[in-house]
Structure 1
Amino acid sequence: MKSITLVRHGKSSWEFSVSDALRPLKNRGVKDAKLVADQYNRFSELPKMIYSSPAVRAFSTCKIFLEAFNLTEDSVSVKDDLYDFGGESVVNFIKKLPNDYDSVMLFGHNHAFTSIANIFGDKFIDNLPTSGLVKLNFEIYDWYDLKKGTTEFIIIPKDLKK
C-alpha cells in the first residue's frame, strides 16, 4: 500500500514586487500551516519522504511542517516538477517515485493538488484551500501503477479555527 499527502502552500503575499516563484507567505499563511501541521502530527505517521516545490511559499510551508515534525531541512528534497499548476508534472513525478517509499508528502500548488485529489481520491474537493492537506491511499506496490485510491482525510485550516 502507498500513500500520498498533498499540502497546498500557505496563503501568500502579493505585497512585494517579486516573481511568482519568490512570493512569501503572509502571516495568516504561517499560522494556518502551523495549525494544519499540528493537527496532522496528532493523528498520522510521518511520511517516509518529503518533497517540495522550489517556490518560496511552498518551501516555507514545508519548513513549518518540518519544525512540527522535529525534522531538519535535510529531510526534504526540493523538486522543480512540483512547481506545477495543472497537475501533469506532479502525476508524472509521483509515478517515478522510488518504490521503497510507501508514504510521501508533497508541498505544492493549486489547481494541481485539487485536481489530483479529485482524480485519485474518492471524496470530491471543490477547492483545496491554502494550507489545506489531503491524504490519499492506494492499493498498489509500484508508484508507476498509480490509480484511483481512497481519501483517508482532509485537513482544512478554517475547520480548525472553530
Structure 2
Amino acid sequence: MKHVILIRHGKSSWNHNVGDVLRPLSERGVSDIKKIAKQFKLLEINPDAVFTSHAKRASHTCELFCEGIDYNLNDFDVVQLLYDFEGSQVIDFIKKLSHHIKVVLIFGHNNAFTNISNIFGSKYIDNVPTSGLVHLVFDIDKWENLKPGITKQTLFPKEL
C-alpha cells in the first residue's frame, strides 16, 4: 500500500507587490494550516518523505505543517516541478518516487491537487481549498504503477 497526502498551500496574502512565486501566506493561511496539522497529528500517520513546491506560500505551509506534526524540518525537499497548476507534473513526480517510500506528503497548488484527487481518488472533490488535505491510498507496490485508489480522508479548514 502507498499513501499520497496532498496539502494545498495556505491562503496567500495579496498585500505584497511580489511575483507569484514569492507571494507569502496571509495570517489566516498560517492559522488554518496549524489547525490542519494539529488534526493530522492526532491520526498518528508518519510520512516517509515530504516534498514541497518552491513557491514561498507552499514552502512556508510545509514548514508550519511539519513543525505542527513534529516532523524534522531538515527532512523535506523543495522541488520546482511541484509548482504545477494542472497536475501532470505532480503525477509524473509521484510515479518516479522510490518504492521504499510508503507515505508521502506533497505541498503544492490547485487546480493540480483537485485534479489529482478526482483522477486517483474514490470521492469527487469540487475544490481542494487552501490548507486543504486529501489522503489517497493505492494498492500498489511501486509508484510507477500508480492507478486509481481510494480517498481515505479529507481535512478542510472549514470543517474544523
Answering whether residue 16 of structure 2 is matched by residue 12 of structure 1, we say: no
Measured after TM superposition, the shift of residue 121 of structure 1 is: 0.3
Aligned length: 160
* Secondary structure, aligned partner of 1:105: strand
Alignment of 1:13-162 (within 5 A): 13-160=13-160
Query: What is the letter of the counterpart of residue 22 of structure 2?
Result: L
Q: Which runs of 4+ in 1 moved over 4 A?
A: none
> Alignment identity in percent?
49
Query: What is the letter of the counterpart of residue 157 of structure 1?
Result: P
Q: Distance in 1 between matches of 2:27 and 2:102?
A: 33
Q: Distance in 2 between matches of 1:41 and 1:4?
A: 16
Q: TM-score, normalised by structure 1?
A: 0.97
Query: What RMSD over aligned residues (CA atoms) do the two structures have, in Å?
Result: 0.7
Measured after TM superposition, the shift of residue 44 of structure 1 is: 3.7
Q: Distance in 1 between matches of 2:121 and 2:18?
A: 35
User: 1:142-162 CA distances to partner (integer Å, 9 max, x unpaired)?
Assistant: 1001000000000000110xx
* Secondary structure, aligned partner of 2:35: helix
Gaps of at least 5 residues in structure 2 are none
Query: What is the letter of the counterpart of residue 74 of structure 2?
Result: D
* Secondary structure, aligned partner of 1:43: coil
Q: Distance in 2 between matches of 1:39 and 1:51?
A: 20
Report the CA distance shift for 1:87/1:54 in structure 2 as closer, same or farther (over 3 A).
Answer: same
Measured after TM superposition, the shift of residue 3 of structure 1 is: 0.5
Q: Distance in 2 between matches of 1:74 and 1:84?
A: 23
> Which range is displaced more, 61-70 or 129-138?
61-70
Gaps of at least 5 residues in structure 1 are none
Q: Distance in 1 between matches of 2:71 and 2:36?
A: 16
* Secondary structure, aligned partner of 1:66: helix
Measured after TM superposition, the shift of residue 74 of structure 1 is: 1.1
**Contact 2:67–2:73 at 8 Å: present in 1 too?**
no
Q: TM-score, normalised by structure 2?
A: 0.98
